[in-house]
Amino acid sequence: FVPKRLAGRRVLLTAGPTFEPIDPVRGITNLSSGRMGFAVARACRQAGAEVVVVAGPSGQPTPLGVRRIDVTTAEQMHRAVMGQLDAGRFDVFVAVAAVADWRVANYSASKLKKSEGGAPPALEFAQNPDILATVARRPDAPWCVGFAAESEDLEANGAAKRKRKGVPLLVGNIGHETFGRDENELLLIDATGSRRLPRASKDSLAAELVAEIAARLPALP
Ligand code: C5P
């Protein structure tokens, strides 16, 4: 028997990488598979929540009963998330996506061509919106959870990031080899301190995380 800890709740998530185009056939992305994000989405659904996932390019299957909105770029992800929040109340927002920090500012509508002896093209970058921080600042902000992949001093950097983003809970990926893997190890950081969730499958970590979120959520009116 699995208690329906999120019954009556609406959860919005981001998952996967983003893809920032350079020209019609090229772009910049990262190694996020979307596995952790979709595992959290599935766990939220199993806990009884209504779940919407805004996903960057990811081959992960859509969990049963979960609504999926596919996007490509960080700006599209940002717009889709804000559109969902404008359209209705959400209790929880979990930002699992590995959003590109920068997009290509000098996108070329035609395919860049190499010319014999010519200089390689120079890319210019513009900063993408921070989706999580923007959601956390909204007056109607859901209860927000962020993720962090820090290469060093996860505890201190994670705690600082939690405050900077203005979220009650930040989940640190312990170690850097989590991308695309089945297993992970997490550090939960909240205002009172941190707690380690030891190495386990992303599915079982997601279930533990959902229990932690449910325990911290303000009661339903
Ligand atoms: O600042 P950093 O990228 O390390 O923060 C990671 C957290 O912020 C993740 O939860 C990620 O989904 C979220 N994020 C976001 N929009 C961005 C960058 C990160 O929502 N542009």
21 carries a ligand binding annotation: no
157 as an active site residue: the answer is: no
pLDDT, tens digit, 9 for 90 and up, residues 108-157 = 999 999 888 889 999 999 999 999 999 999 999 999 999 998 778 999 99
Residue 147 in contact with ligand 1 by CB distance below 6 A: yes
Distance 19 CA to ligand 1 centre (A): 15
The SS3 call for residue 129 is: coil
How many whole angstroms from 119 Cα to the centroid of ligand 1?
A: 34
68 CB neighbour count, 10 Å cutoff: 18
Measured from the Cα of 134, ligand 1's closest atom is: 20
- Evaluate if residue 176 carries a pLDDT over 70: no
Please tell me if the CB atom of residue 77 comes closer than 6 angstroms to any atom of ligand 1: no
Assess contact for 150 and 157: CB atoms under 8 A: yes
Q: What is the 3-state composition of the chain as percent helix, strand, coil, each rounded to the nearest 5?
A: 25, 30, 45
C-beta of 43 in contact with ligand 1 (< 6 A): no
| DSSP strand pairing (125-127 vs 67-70) | unpaired
ipTM of the complex: 0.98
- Whether 19 contacts 2, CB under 8 Å: no
Residue 7: pLDDT above 80?
A: yes
Residue 187 clears pLDDT 70, i.e. is over it: yes
* Ligand 1 atom closest to residue 97's alpha carbon, by position in its atom list: 12
Ligand 1 in contact with 99 (CB < 6 A)? yes
Interval between CA 129 and ligand 1 midpoint (Å): 9
